[in-house]
Amino acid sequence: MTARGIALLAVLAAVLLALPAFVGGYALSLATLILLSAYTGQAWNVMMGFAGQLSLGHALYVGVGAYAAAALFFHYGIGPWAGVWLAIALCALLGAAIGFLAFRFGISGVYFALLTIAFAEFTRIGFDHLDWTGGPGGLFIKVAQRDRVDLLNLRGTPAMFYYVVLALVAGAFALCAWLLNSRAGYYWQAIREDEDAARALGIDTFRWKMVAVVLSAAMTAVAGVFFAFYYNNLFPEQIFNIGRSIEIILGPVIGGVGTLFGPILGAAVLNLLADGITELIAALGWEIPGIKQVFYGLVLLVVVMFVPHGIWPALARKLKVSR
């Protein structure tokens, strides 16, 4: 990163830190949503962007993480700071199981992607039939008073949630920046570009792919815990939905797969776009169910056709922030 890049990053950090003091409730909730999808995008990017393993079922880890922490809180009153470790452990285990089964049996590419969908769908239907977590009727966490900050139980004001997710995004950014320049990062990029060549060079491709899957799953689990305590309700149909897996992927793909800043930029662009479309349609008075998503789909289509490598690589050249 150039000096100019570091300066711009510092400005962005300052703006994000000061944001809650200047904007209203709606803008703050939108910013929280953007950061949450930026974080899940960063987690997915570790697996696909760095190591080249396409997961189309990341909603699985969001859902399992969310349910693990929420169920502990709901049934035993155990707070999210303990619950998050269960969530991480469960998702890491799940990621390890899927990765082990797939990579041991030589499943890759499209087949691997479809396997991840299958596990997510399988789990969704499983949770629909699991009474302990409320089945299809959902699991609800008691909504606490929103004016007092109780960080220990993750109950509090919207600003508190904003800062928690901002910390997650910053942490993930630092982790990814470190990973990309570490031994693991170089191994992953070698695997992504040409797995056979990487193996010929003596890289234990199985092991490093496993590391990517487990790490990505564990990171996504934390997003699930945040999701559970931010929204206070969980339904299998929503949280495990393939639509959520697609949403997780859209950000990094639009922003730039494999880049550090792409998932964050992509999340901002997509959410602001969706919000803009909603307002535009409301202003025009064209409120027909579905019209919003049609516009959204059309814009996605145009972006994916004309900006194939994502917005960030092109923007980074313009801003002269990377070497």
Partner 1 sequence: MSLDLVANVVIAGLLTGLVYGLMALGLSVIFGVVRVVNFAHGEMLTIAMYATVVLFAAWRLDPFWALVPVTVAFFAAGYLLQAGLINPFITRPEHSQFMLLVAVAIIMVNALLMIFGPDARNVQVDYQLDSFALGKILVDKARLYAALAAIAGSAVLFAFFRYTRTGTAIRACADNHLGALVVGLNVRHLYAFTFGLGSACVAVAGVMMVLLVEVNPSLGPAYTLLAFVIVIVGGLGSMGGALLGGVLIGMSEALAGLLVTPSAKSMFSFGLLILVLLFRPQGLLGRRP
**Residue 118 engages partner 1 in binding (rule: CB under 8 A):** yes
- Between residues 32 and 53, which has the closer beta carbon with respect to partner 1? 53
**Residue 253 engages partner 1 in binding (rule: CB under 8 A):** yes
Among 82, 74, 81, 62, CA closest to 142: 74
| 258 φ/ψ sector (left φ>0, alpha ψ -120 to 50, else beta) | left
Token pair for residue 283? 């202003």
Question: Can you tell me which of 76, 111, 132, 178 binds partner 1, judged by CB under 8 A?
Answer: 111
**Residue 275 engages partner 1 in binding (rule: CB under 8 A):** no
DSSP, res 144: P
Place of tokens 């393939």: 242
| Residue 292 CB, nearest approach to partner 1 (Å) | 8
What is the C-alpha to C-alpha distance for residues 265 and 263, in angstroms, rounded to an integer? 6
SS3 142: coil
Question: Can you tell me which of 7, 82, 282, 294 binds partner 1, judged by CB under 8 A?
Answer: 294
**Residue 284 engages partner 1 in binding (rule: CB under 8 A):** no
Question: Can you tell me which of 38, 56, 270, 277 binds partner 1, judged by CB under 8 A?
Answer: 56
**Residue 288 engages partner 1 in binding (rule: CB under 8 A):** yes
Residue 143 backbone phi and psi in degrees, to 5: -80, 120
Token pair for residue 301? 């289509």
Window 217-246: residues binding partner 1 (CB under 8 A):
242-243, 246
* Alpha helices in 77-157, H assignment, sequence order: 80-104, 109-128
- Between residues 82 and 302, which has the closer beta carbon with respect to partner 1? 302
Binding site for partner 1 (CB under 8 A): 48, 54, 56, 101-102, 105-107, 109-111, 113-115, 117-119, 121-122, 125-126, 128-129, 242-243, 246, 249-250, 253, 257, 288-294, 296-298, 300-301, 304-305, 308
